[in-house]
Amino acid sequence: MTMRKKIVAGNWKMNTLPAEGVELAKGVAAGRKDVCDCVTLIVCPPFTHLSSVIEALKGSNVEVGAQDCATETKGAYTGEVAAQMIAALGCKYVILGHSERRQYYGETSATLNKKMAEAYANNLTPIYCVGENLDEREAERHFDVVKAQIEEVVFNLTEEQFRNLVIAYEPVWAIGTGKTATAEQAQEIHAYIREVLRSKFGAAAEECPILYGGSCKPSNAGEIFAKADVDGGLIGGAALKAEDFLAIGKAF
């Protein structure tokens, strides 16, 4: 039996003004003591308040991640934020390939391969998101979609890089809709993801944390996290209230 890392990460998306973000982070830090040390808690604020949130969380045992990074290292890329800038602030994680980035900003596997390379070059741990949309689920193509998202990006990693990867399975139809995957649906596809990872990385696949995301909240987190291949959650809406986010952290 392997002891996989348990993770609850909050993706704040484009929410909170800087002062609100700092308050939220302080609220998470204040309640951290009630969440098992065995759970890694991560908050992912917008770029504009990464710095002040990191400052507010010093010494708190709450980690910080960014929500994206640039494909390039530095230079004439107006509006972009480089992985090395994020890392220099003290961020440890970066969410890559979120479905909102794939859907609204046209991110492809080619884009994501570059972002992953930048993340690793700067010692950031990517939280790589995969997941099917409603049409794909209804056509029962979800396994194939997720497999392709993994093969086209994760399979390009070295084993050493793979050992420093977190995967988040987020079905698009469950994001922000209030409609969660059932614990059984989550387990079924998480086990499948692990099988795909095993086919490439062997035993290292047993160590890879696979998080569930999509309308995860205090009332359903316990049931979902109890499943064998679910190692935590990537939380959107419920991460915007410290109390709810902490309650999800306690759901293991």
Provide the binding-site residues for ligand 13P, judged by CB under 6 A: 11, 98, 170, 175-176, 213-216, 234-238
Cα(184)–Cα(188) distance, rounded to whole angstroms? 6
> What is the rounded distance in angstroms from the CA atom of residue 12 to the CA atom of residue 14?
6
CB of 131 to ligand 13P, least distance (A): 9
CB of 182 to ligand 13P, least distance (A): 15
Catalytic one of 100, 118, 132, 170: 170
- Across 59-71, b (16+ Cβ under 10 Å) vs e yields eeebbbbbbbbbb
- Of the residues 49, 63, 98, 136, only one is catalytic, namely 98
Residue entry with tokens 């359903």: 220
Report the nearest approach of ligand 13P to the CB of residue 24 (Å): 15
- Cβ proximity to ligand 13P, 31 vs 214, nearer residue: 214
Name which of 201 and 246 has its Cβ closer to ligand 13P: 246
Q: Of the two residues 229 and 244, which places its CB atom closer to ligand 13P in the complex?
A: 244
Least Cβ distance, residue 238 to ligand 13P (angstroms): 6
CA–CA gap between residue 168 and residue 175 (Å, rounded): 12
Q: Please, what is the Cα angle at 63 between 55 and 164, to 5 degrees?
A: 135
Of all residues in the shown chain, the one whose CB is closest to ligand 13P is 236
Please confirm, yes or no, whether 170 is among the known catalytic residues. Answer: yes
Count the helix, strand and coil residues of the chain and give each as a percent rounded to the nearest 5.
50, 15, 35
Q: Between 100 and 118, whose beta carbon lies closer to ligand 13P? A: 100
Note whether 248 and 217 are within 8 A (CB). yes
207 is catalytic: no
| Residue whose CB is less far from ligand 13P, 68 or 229 | 68
**Which DSSP string do the residues of 144-179 spell out, in sequence order?**
HHHHHHHHTTGGGS-HHHHTT-EEEE--GGGTTSS-
Minimum gap (Å) between residue 93 Cβ and ligand 13P: 12
d(CA 5, CA 232): 9
CA atoms of 29 and 245, how far apart (whole Å) = 11
Instruction: Give catalytic residues, as residue numbers.
Output: 98, 170
